[in-house]
Amino acid sequence: MQRQFIVKYTKIGEVKQMTSKTEKSRRQKTMFYYLTRLSKHTMVCKKFLVSRRGLLEQHWRKSNDCGIVASDMRGGRQSENIKNRDSAIHTAIENHVNRFPRIGSHYYREKSTQEYLHFDLSISKIYSLFLEELTASDELPSITTYRTKNLSFHRPKKDQCSLCMTYKDLYEKCNSEKLKVRTVKNECKLRAATDEVVPLTCNKFFIYQNIMTLRFSTKHAYLISI
């Protein structure tokens, strides 16, 4: 519709003036440009029309003698191989994105349709991780495919919960202790693999308590006097 509107205010005519009389110019036609003012067509220059409407010269080149613009031939029929390739790429990207856990919301973005990932991630980082898993024979996807996903990595301060922050501190403390234990375990495995003697000491502790004396007396029937 936009191109049809543009062609409506242009006309193709004969060149009125030739700059060279000796050589025959290949330009046999010229274009006249108009704008509507008070229901009348007023002729304007091409530079004014292009700057006024933000157009390109290609819009006029596709018009025929009847003033009809030819349809855009881009994005027509595609072969089955291209369709299957694009479908496989989109499926692989979708599966790769779904492997990253989503971060839930409490207040600020509770009703948002976006999917929030960890704030340490980004589109470029996810794309680089996906490229590391590809082989030499795989088709290389474009990073723009990731940008079409409804993903976000921003973590607003208003969405933080005191209970969740408490659990986060406990988790980080437990995780650090777990990493220390794994480090010691790996060192012991390495020593055992190299036949290195690992001295082990065992300390036995006894809990000593003060012994209390308890007086106990037995009473027999023959000791009772009447």
Proportion of the chain above pLDDT 90, given as a percent: 2
Given this model, what pLDDT does residue 123 score? 87
Given this model, what pLDDT does residue 121 score? 85
Residue spans per domain, the chain: 2-16+27-61, 81-159
| pLDDT tens string 153-203 | 766 666 667 777 777 788 888 889 999 999 998 888 888 788 766 566 655
CB count in 10 Å sphere of residue 222: 6
In Å, how far are 11, 117, 158, 161 from 121, measured between CA atoms? 55, 7, 20, 21
Question: What is the pLDDT averaged over residues 38-44?
Answer: 78
Given this model, what pLDDT does residue 17 score? 73
Count of residues making up the chain: 226
Q: Are residues 11 and 32 in contact, defined by beta-carbon separation less than 8 angstroms?
A: yes
Integer Cα distance of 33 and 219 in angstroms: 134
Question: What is the pLDDT averaged over residues 73-88?
Answer: 74
Integer Cα distance of 137 and 128 in angstroms: 17
Integer Cα distance of 145 and 89 in angstroms: 9
Work out the mean pLDDT of the chain and round it to a whole number.
73
Integer Cα distance of 79 and 86 in angstroms: 11
Helix axes 123-133, 80-98, angle to 10 degrees: 120
What the block records as the tokens of 115 is: 């999917």
Of the candidates 25, 3, 32, 30, the one whose C-alpha atom is nearest the C-alpha of residue 14 is 30
Question: What is the pLDDT averaged over residues 114-132?
Answer: 85
Integer Cα distance of 126 and 140 in angstroms: 14
Question: What is the pLDDT averaged over residues 64-93?
Answer: 71
